[in-house]
């Protein structure tokens, strides 16, 4: 992905962006996916959470983080003392990428070119929101915003300034907690996720 110019968007214009994104065909995912799942949350949100891409349930509902990963996220936010209603939640890629397998649609990680195609939307959301905090949930969002060599395992919870917010950091994706190799790993990742999210209330 090349470095794109920062888009000029009036503060709070996320509703305009959401409407414009509905017909986006910048990547091939718009064909099989049900709909664009744009970010949602208050126009004056101080905190933006960025996930990877909508999952099966999000694709059907048209809203981010409403499926199993969303349940983990909601609980982690609650424990961290962050009100989800005050947070803007979005994804690095706004269409569901999947492989049909009989009746089920198996999640596939978006390709770098899907992330690159969607990046102007993420940048426009951030330019419109001007948040104080950006939290990248997982590697896809972290690489999109913090660079292709970013490793969540090594740099989780490290807060830095970026072009879009004075405080940006990455943490575990809620799905990583669900996919953890053992109960013990899941517990550890979950508590790290909560601890990282609690930084934004300080």
For position 54 contacting ligand URA by CB under 6 A, the verdict is yes
Report which secondary-structure segment, H or E, holds 16: helix 14-21
Q: 170 φ, ψ to 5°? A: -115, 150
Residue 91 CB, shortest distance to ligand URA, in Å, is 5
Task: Mark the segment that binds ligand URA (CB under 6 A) among 19-27, 49-57, 148-156, 164-172.
Answer: 49-57
Cβ(134)–Cβ(48) below 8 Å? yes
Q: Is 114 in the site for ligand URA (CB under 6 A)?
A: no
Is the CB of 53 or the CB of 168 nearer to ligand URA?
Answer: 53
CA angle 71, 77, 79 (to 5 degrees): 105
Binding part of the chain for ligand URA, among 48-56, 144-152, 164-172, 194-202 by CB under 6 A, reads: 48-56
* CB 5, min distance to ligand URA, A: 26
- Residues 6 or more apart whose CB falls under 8 angstroms from that of 71 comprise none
Q: Which strands, in side-by-side order, build the sheet including 167-171?
A: 87-91, 47-51, 133-137, 167-171
Spatial distance between the Cα atoms of 143 and 129, rounded to a whole number of angstroms:
20
Size of site (CB under 6 A) for ligand URA? 13
Minimum distance of ligand URA from residue 160's CB (angstroms):
21
Say which residue the tokens 């709909």 belong to: 35
Interface pick for ligand URA out of 41, 59, 65, 119 (rule CB under 6 A): 65
Q: Interface with ligand URA by CB under 6 A: which residues?
A: 51-55, 58, 64-65, 67, 69-70, 91, 175
């Amino acid at each position: 992905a090349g470095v794109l110019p920062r888009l000029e968007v009036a503060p709070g214009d996320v509703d305009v962006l959401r409407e414009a994104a509905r017909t986006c065909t910048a990547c091939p995912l718009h064909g099989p996916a049900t709909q664009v799942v744009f970010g949602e949350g208050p126009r004056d949100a101080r905190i933006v959470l960025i996930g990877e891409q909508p999952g099966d349930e999000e694709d059907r509902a048209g809203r981010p983080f409403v499926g199993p990963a969303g349940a983990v996220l909601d609980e982690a936010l609650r424990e961290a003392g962050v009100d989800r209603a005050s947070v803007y939640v979005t994804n690095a890629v706004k269409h569901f990428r999947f492989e049909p397998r009989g009746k089920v649609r198996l999640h596939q990680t978006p390709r770098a070119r899907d992330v690159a195609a969607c990046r102007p939307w993420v940048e426009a959301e951030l330019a419109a929101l001007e948040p104080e905090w950006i939290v990248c949930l997982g590697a896809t969002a972290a690489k999109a915003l913090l660079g292709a060599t970013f490793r969540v395992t090594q740099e989780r919870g490290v807060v830095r300034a970026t072009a879009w917010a004075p405080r940006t950091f990455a943490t575990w994706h809620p799905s990583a907690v669900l996919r953890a190799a053992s109960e013990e790993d899941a517990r550890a990742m979950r508590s790290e996720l909560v601890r990282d999210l609690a930084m934004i209330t300080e």
